[in-house]
Structure 1
Amino acid sequence: MRPKKIEDKKLILNLMSVLRKKGYEGSSLNQLAQAANLNKASLYHRFPGGKKEITDAVLDFAEEWVKEHIYNLLSDSSIPPKDRLREALKIISEDLYDHGHEMCLLRALSMDAGQGLFGNKIKGSMTTWIDAFTLLGLDFDYSKEEAAEKAVEVLVHIQGGLVVSESLGSVAPFKAVLEAIEKLYLKD
């Protein structure tokens, strides 16, 4: 068996970069193959289902990453809630969105045909985020209803901050949103 030209995780991250920027409809197989550093035949060999299978694999990877790095952290009651919040916001900023320079994969795939094809996975990922931040809110002693409202507000803030940052060509709005999220959870 020939060795793979590119490691699986690196392959998925490269494919994700195209989908984040272009969405499902805007991404061509040529762009995906180029990002993967593979020819189209090799890409089809890895993903016989084409662009849909590629996108499914990227979404599955992203969901597992969020569970591992965000959900598990925010639900770990052995760590004080304030510390979990700050660490999660740091991971979101640095690792997930490159300080506001990267767009959200879920947002990019929610447009055009993406919502129809991947709506259940997108909803599932959003629910994972909401569940994680709801658990955190409960540990901050908010009621279940308040915690759930704050969790949805977190998603709205993050998405809005990324869109405004992209539109203005400045990461300042995204950074401000992260600070606002921290204040949202901390009681006076």
Structure 2
Amino acid sequence: MAVERDALVPQLAEVFRTHGFEGASLARITAAVGLGKGSLYHAFPGGKDEMAEAVLAHIERWFEEEVFAVLRAEAATGIARMFDACERYFHSGQRVCIVGVFALSDTRDRFAQAVSRYFANWTDALQGALLRAGHPPENARALAEDIVGAIQGALVLARAVDDAEQFVRTLARWRQRALIS
């Protein structure tokens, strides 16, 4: 039976989200996806690295469609939609950011381009939307960096104190700051 590679990516993502790259052992991966090693390696001949690359590419596509493109096309509405998308994607703070997990571990160097591109694309698209929404050019970049950093930090804090509502409250505060021009 041929394995549909794309169908495995969300399951792989949850293994990496839960255990990080190093903790995502082959045993954990095969248990999560319900396949043997042979089938898994048939779908991903490059092994765990290729699996992680597929997960990162999937995340990049989702954020491109749901966040970055919206920010590039719309100003205030795009910013509001970005906050809504983040709340949905991160399950109101109950789901950690895989790219963030990779960025904070030794894995960062292995997947540096994908990690860097994700955060750069997000910050650049948000900066453009903030400018079009009327924020002063001298403040837009710093505000974009602060917002992306606050979202990522709020995910960590919500997880650390086991209070997802901290994430939701942080998004609400930064939404208000971003939409005031």
TM-score of the pair, normalised by structure 2: 0.93
AA aligned opposite 1:72: A
Q: Across the two proteins, how many residue pairs are aligned to each other?
A: 181
Contact 2:30–2:36 (CA under 8 A) maintained in structure 1: yes
Q: 1:3 and 1:49 mapped to 2: Cα distance? A: 17
Give the C-alpha shift of residue 187 in structure 1: 2.3
Give the C-alpha shift of residue 3 in structure 1: 4.6
Q: 1:175 and 1:36 mapped to 2: Cα distance? A: 31
Q: Could you tell me which residue of structure 2 aligns to residue 161 of structure 1?
A: 154
Identify if the C-alpha distance between structure 1 residues 21 and 145 changes in structure 2 by more than 3 Å, giving closer, same or farther.
Answer: farther
Q: Could you tell me which residue of structure 1 aligns to residue 112 of structure 2?
A: 119
Q: Could you tell me which residue of structure 1 aligns to residue 142 of structure 2?
A: 149
Q: Could you tell me which residue of structure 2 aligns to residue 43 of structure 1?
A: 40
Contact 1:21–1:108 (CA under 8 A) maintained in structure 2: no
Unaligned runs of 5+ in 2: none
Q: Could you tell me which residue of structure 2 aligns to residue 60 of structure 1?
A: 57
Q: Kindly indicate whether residue 87 of structure 2 is the aligned counterpart of residue 85 of structure 1.
A: no
Give the C-alpha shift of residue 63 in structure 1: 0.8
Give the C-alpha shift of residue 13 in structure 1: 0.8
Q: Could you tell me which residue of structure 2 aligns to residue 139 of structure 1?
A: 132
Give the C-alpha shift of residue 143 in structure 1: 3.2
Q: Aligned Cα RMSD in Å?
A: 1.5
Q: 2:131 and 2:169 mapped to 1: Cα distance? A: 24
Contact 1:20–1:103 (CA under 8 A) maintained in structure 2: yes
Q: More displaced, 81-90 or 168-177? A: 81-90
Contact 2:157–2:166 (CA under 8 A) maintained in structure 1: yes
Identify if the C-alpha distance between structure 1 residues 180 and 41 changes in structure 2 by more than 3 Å, giving closer, same or farther.
Answer: same
- Could you list the per-position Cα deviations for residues 51-106 of structure 1 after superposition, in whole angstroms to 9, with x for gaps in the alignment? 111101111111111111101111113xxx33222222111111x10111100011
- Could you list the per-position Cα deviations for residues 134-159 of structure 1 after superposition, in whole angstroms to 9, with x for gaps in the alignment? 11111112233421111111111111
Alignment counterpart, residue 99 of structure 2, candidates 99, 103, 106? 106
Moved over 6 A (4+): none
- Could you list the per-position Cα deviations for residues 16-70 of structure 1 after superposition, in whole angstroms to 9, with x for gaps in the alignment? 1111121111111111122222112111111111111110111111111111110
Q: 2:80 and 2:109 mapped to 1: Cα distance? A: 35
Unaligned runs of 5+ in 1: none
